[in-house]
Amino acid sequence: MAAAPVIHLDGRSLTRAQVVAVARGAGVVLDETQLGRVQRTADFLAAQVARQEPIYGVSTGFGSNADRLLGAHRLRGERPGDDPLHADLQHKLITSHAVCVGEPFPPEVVRAMLVIRINTLMQGHSGVRASTLKAFASLLNAGIVPVVPMLGSVGASGDLAPLSHLAIVLLGQGEAFLGGERLPGGEALERAGLVPVRLSYKEGLALNNGTAQMLATAVLAAERLGRLVELADRCAAMSIEAFAGRVRAFDAHVHALRPHPGQVASAANLRALLEGSTLADIAYHLVPKAKPWQPASWPTPALAALRFDIGWDWVPADQRHGRERFYERFKPFRGGKKHQPQDSYSLRCAPQVHGAVRDALAQLERVVDIELNAVTDNPLVFPDLPGARNIEDQVVSAGHFHGMPIALAMSYAKAAVPVLASISERRLNKLLDPATSDGLPAFLVGNEDATDSGLMIVQYTAAAIVNDLATRAHPASVYSVPTSANAEDHVSMGANEGRHLLAMVQDLGKVLALELLVAAQALDFRRDMIEAARRLAREADLATFAAKVGNAPPEPHPLRPRFLAECEALRAELAASPGFAPGPASAALHAAFRARVPGLDEDRALDGDVAAAVGFVEDWTGGRA
């Protein structure tokens, strides 16, 4: 088994892919040169404290206590074993702030938080010592996963409470998972051969004042959403082929007239996915419609084994007036495909909808890429600032902990998730409904004895998830609740936004899994129906073939010879056809899906099929975060 990769951290070059790698087990190594800069800042702070310079969060209290300076000794006198006040301040900051509630975040989220926090502290503007950062990295590399309950951050001043749950384990307190076992933090350190850290100047504030929770959830959600957008294009392509749909709406010169980047990318992707398909853009008259199977439906035992019958309706000559040009191109038969040059919006507008989601994702990725290598705590320390006149120039209280840049980007992405789920649900519903499926059997099952529901109820589940996603899409970022006695009077709620987004992306995957379940079944029927028509055309005589066509003039009738001649032309075209199949992309996805989920001939317990479909999507997209 290959060893897990090791990610080099220097504070300036961390990528989304590297965060995902660490979240899923990679280790980290700290850049030695940059550690020197980290230590330089810590030494600078220590020197300023020795000079008794007042520095927020170092020699003052926090938040609404910022106007209270630390004294030289405790007012009640020193007690045996007491840390100096500066160290006690940092220690108590962590222990008092670890107050989150709820279920713990999954290990992937917590590991992503750890690597993000270590990386930002590596920039050397936070005041932590090199030894403290090394201890934090050792905790991560040892596989210790602090228990971080999900609820408790308002996204400014950063993710104070959840980051305190990270840091408290470094102090030998709190709780952590090690090897899947939930342990007291001190015991987890001891089992890993590590010792607790005693914090120095500003280290508590540096460890818990930043955007690591919201950023970690944003990175993991963006990574999975990117894979799901790609899968949505593939699901759409399979659905289009199951409809024997039209592809001209995806042409490059069409989308050049409205060049939104995501739209152009989705259209190009759909063109590539549909390349080689002989089902898309098939002539209308070649597509039969499904009819209920009857014992006399088919002339041979092999065809009689099918779970459906097929048919067309003939268009008499007196109904072709004004449509002569159309019937020069297409034979006068109505089967499964309606005679119209455009498909419904859920198919035709897939590039516009999927592309808009791609654009929302691109904005989130842009913000995340900046944030990953940003300094997000407070105050910021500039030990070597040129032209600095006093300590106020070198230690600056600012607001980089405020999560609004990430929160708003996640709000945008949250709004996009139910949009992608909704269009997916509309496609699967269209495939199930005989009024809209262009000739497929109702609910995609033969139902010869009227006892089968087929995949009908699958749409209910998809509809329930879409509604749930829509109700959760309300942006948390627009509703601030002031904290810290109104010292922190405007907050981002970005942590809630990220938690919502990550969970919503998981549920989006479930909707796409249901579309895939339905589209695979529909594709089976469409292919099998057309292939049955080809086989009948090759093996049966004209009279047997013509019996599949409704609206036929009776014998004797002046139009009967014309009817038979046109039936023969349809039969000859079908017989001469080389075959109809999805393109290689849909065929490969269909085959992989069918290896996990078999087709449905008649009703059976579907819970296993649905679970297998969801599992397929989770595996395809890299697993749940």
Asked if domains 6-74+82-210 and 222-363+408-620 share a fold, the reply is no
Between 191 and 398, residue with greater pLDDT: 191
Residue type, 110: V
pLDDT band for 625, please (50, 70, 90 cuts). Answer: very low
Quick check: 328 pLDDT over 90? no
pLDDT band at 424 (very low <50, low <70, confident <90, very high): very high
Q: What pLDDT digit, counting tens, does each position of 14-27 carry? A: 999 999 999 999 99
Kindly tell me if the per-residue pLDDT of 590 is higher than 80: yes
Q: Which residues lie below 8 Å from residue 458, measured CB to CB, with a gap of 6+?
A: 428, 432, 514, 517, 518, 606, 610
Separation of alpha carbons 74 and 365, rounded Å:
48
DSSP 417: H
pLDDT for the residue numbered 589: 97
69 — pLDDT class (breaks 50, 70, 90): low
Q: Measuring CA to CA, which residue among 335, 272, 502, 485 is closest to residue 410?
A: 502
**What distance in Å separates the CA atoms of residue 361 and residue 538, rounded to the nearest whole number?**
51
Active site residue 56: yes
Residue 70 has pLDDT above 70, yes or no: no
Helix, strand, or coil (residue 6): strand
Flag whether pLDDT at 526 surpasses 80.
yes
249, 211 contact by CB (below 8 A):
no
Q: Please determine, for residue 171, whether its predicted confidence score (pLDDT) is greater than 60.
A: yes
Contact between residue 224 and residue 509 where contact means Cβ atoms under 8 Å apart: yes
Model pLDDT for residues 293-308, shown as the tens digit of each residue = 999 999 999 999 999 9
**DSSP code of residue 400:** T
Q: DSSP string covering 259-327, please?
A: --HHHHHHHHHHHHHHTT-SSTT--GGG--EEE---TTS-SSHHHHTSS-EEEEEE--GGG-TT-HHHH
Q: What are phi and psi of 87, to 5 degrees?
A: -70, -40
Which amino acid type is present at position 173? Q
Q: What is the pLDDT of residues 192-234, one digit of tens each?
A: 999 999 999 889 889 999 999 999 999 999 999 999 999 999 9
DSSP string of 13-65, one letter each residue: ---HHHHHHHHTT-EEEE-HHHHHHHHHHHHHHHHHHHTT---TTTTB-SGGG
| E strand or H helix at 500 | helix 494-539
Beta bridge partners of 7: 28
DSSP state of 556: S
What is the pLDDT confidence band of residue 80, given thresholds at 50, 70 and 90?
low
Give the integer Cα–Cα distance in Å for 212 and 542: 72
H/E segment holding residue 166: helix 160-170
d(CA 10, CA 21): 16
Given a cut of 50, whether residue 408 has pLDDT beyond it is yes
Q: Which of 56, 201, 284, 412 is catalytic?
A: 56
Task: Assign a CATH topology to domain 222-363+408-620.
Answer: Fumarase C; Chain A, domain 2 (1.20.200)
Which residue(s) pair with 101 in the sheet? 151
Residue found by looking up tokens 């910022």 in the block: 66
Question: What are the φ and ψ backbone dihedral angles of 289, each rounded to 5 degrees?
Answer: -105, 150
Any idea where the domains of the chain sit in the sequence? 6-74+82-210, 222-363+408-620
pLDDT averaged over every residue in the chain: 93
pLDDT band at residue 598 using 50, 70 and 90 as cut-offs: very high
For 491-524, what is each residue's pLDDT tens digit? Answer: 888 899 999 999 999 999 999 999 999 999 999 9
C-alpha dihedral, 73 to 79 to 85 to 90, nearest 10° = -170
User: Which residues have C-beta within 8 Å of that of residue 180, sequence separation ≥ 6?
Assistant: none
Residues comprising the chain, all counted: 625
- The fold adopted by the segment(s) 6-74+82-210 is Fumarase C; Chain B, domain 1 (1.10.275)
For residue 144, give the nearest of 166, 119, 121, 117 by alpha carbon: 166
Cβ 592 vs Cβ 519: under 8 Å: no
Residue 562, token pair as written in the block:
């014309």
